[in-house]
C-alpha cells in the first residue's frame, strides 16, 4: 500500500494500538474522523479496482497484439495490489469501527 492509503492505515493502527497497549483511549472525534478518512480511501480503492477491471475487459478484446500481453500483465498486478490494499484497509477499519462503537457506549 502506498500514498494516502498507507497513511490512513498507519493512523488507524496507531489508534488501535493506543488503547490496546494500556494507554488512554483515543478521542472519539479523532476516531470518527479517521474512520471517515478510511472509508473515503476504501471507496477510492474500489473505484480504482473497477477502472482496472473495466480496462482489462477492453484490452481482452484486442488480445491479438503483442503489447496487449504486457498491458494485461500490468493491469493484473495493479488489480491484485488494489485488492490487497482494500482488504487490509477493510480489516483495520472494521477493528476501529468496533472500538469506536465500544467507546460510544461508555459515554
Question: What is the rounded CA–CA span in Å between residue 44 and residue 104?
Answer: 27
CATH number assigned to the domain comprising residue 73: 1.20.58
**pLDDT tens, 66-87?**
777 788 888 889 999 999 999 9
| Of 11, 79, 68, 4, residue with least CA distance to 40 | 4
Q: Are 14 and 27 within 8 A, CB to CB?
A: no
Count of structural domains, the chain: 1
Residue in 34, 27, 46 with CA at minimum distance from that of residue 10: 34
Q: What is the pLDDT of residues 25-78, one digit of tens each?
A: 788 999 999 999 999 999 999 999 999 999 888 887 776 677 777 888 888 899
Question: Residue 95 is part of which domain span?
Answer: 3-105
Amino acid at each position: 500500500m502506498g500514498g494516502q492509503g498507507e497513511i490512513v492505515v498507519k493512523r488507524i493502527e496507531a489508534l488501535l494500538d493506543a488503547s490496546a497497549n494500556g494507554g488512554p483511549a483515543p478521542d472519539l472525534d479523532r476516531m470518527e474522523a479517521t474512520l471517515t478518512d478510511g472509508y473515503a480511501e476504501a471507496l477510492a480503492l474500489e473505484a480504482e479496482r473497477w477502472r482496472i477491471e473495466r480496462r482489462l475487459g477492453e484490452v481482452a478484446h484486442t488480445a491479438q497484439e503483442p503489447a496487449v500481453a504486457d498491458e494485461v500483465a500490468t493491469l493484473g498486478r495493479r488489480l491484485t495490489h488494489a485488492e490487497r490494499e482494500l482488504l487490509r484497509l477493510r480489516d483495520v477499519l472494521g477493528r476501529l469501527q468496533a472500538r469506536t462503537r465500544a467507546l460510544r457506549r461508555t459515554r
